[in-house]
Amino acid sequence: QEREPTSLKKILGLEEILNVNIWRASLAELLGTATLVFALDTIVISSIETETKTPNLVMSTMVAIIVTILLLATFPISGGHINPIISFSAALTGICSFTRAAIYIMAQCLGGILGALALKAVVKSSVEDTFSLGGCTLHIVTAGPQGPIVIGLETGQALWLEIICSFVFLFASIWMAFDERQVKALGRVAVCIIIGIVLGILVFVSTTVTATKGYAGAGLNPARCLGPALIRGGHLWDGHWVFWVGPAIACVAFAMYTKIVPHQHFHVLER
């Protein structure tokens, strides 16, 4: 099957801005991201509150499960993005138009804020303080032996980690969801489980490998970082750009990779 050359107009898809269905579908993105942020942040807080020696493991397992479930829940309505990284890379690789991606990302950001508000309503302010509302922090200010000190990761290192983890996320899981033949071969449930597990492992790895208190691990979802940062403010804004710029760079690198790599598995064809 021949693909006609995609014009710029089609790539941008500006006419989709008037498509009411996209706006209705974006509601699923909004509520999905709100649910995700509320669930993720309560999981972060609960895991650390729990008296266990391996809070990171508990956290990662539950992140994997909740992400899988929410992707399955929103897939039939909006395509199951609930993450600006997925929407942006989907637009870059031609899965959906840039207009739709922009609408989705806006909805996801709103959802992130909604989720953070819902969380703020139910936790005590002391818990809110201790865990920064479960948000994405590079470093936190804590009481040291001689006055308050700042502990955490350097911004450069965090940016690198964000780029690498986002690329691994795209390369190891999203790639399968974008490739129609892969989705057909593996099935939708398997793909969503793989995306969830890869995210869970990246959360586990990024929080432990740096071995740095104050750094909350790779964000891997700018919308979920934006919500707590807006609601709680303060040190959550420090280096907040990292959680947007890192994934963006990874998305562009990933889009270039998908253009270079052969689209037909020649190995199979030869036989």
Task: For CA atoms 208, 137, 44, 81, give the dihedral sign.
Answer: negative
Q: Which is nearer to its own copies, 130 or 238 (CB)?
A: 130
Q: How far is the CB of 102 from its own copies (least distance, A)?
A: 16
Classify residue 238 as exposed, middle or buried by CB count within 10 Å of its CB (0-12, 13-18, 19+).
middle
Nearer to its own copies, 6 or 54 (CB): 54
CB 79 within 8 A of CB 164: no
Write out the E strands in the chain.
139-144, 147-152
Q: Which of 141, 108, 123 is nearest to 35 (CA)?
A: 108
Residue (of 30, 49, 234, 38) closest to 120 by Cα position = 38
For its own copies, which is the closer residue by CB, 121 or 147?
A: 121
Of 6 and 50, nearer to its own copies (C-beta) is 50
Q: Specify the residue, 4 or 147, whose C-beta has the smaller distance to its own copies.
A: 4
Q: Tokens for 64, please give them.
A: 């994997």
Minimum CB separation from its own copies for residue 78, in Å? Answer: 7
| Least distance to its own copies, CB of residue 255, Å | 13
Minimum distance of its own copies from residue 18's CB (angstroms):
14
Calpha distance 218→243 (Å, rounded): 8
Find the shortest distance in angstroms from Cβ 227 to its own copies: 14
Task: Quote the crossing angle between the two packed helices 188-208 and 55-78, to the nearest 10°.
Answer: 140
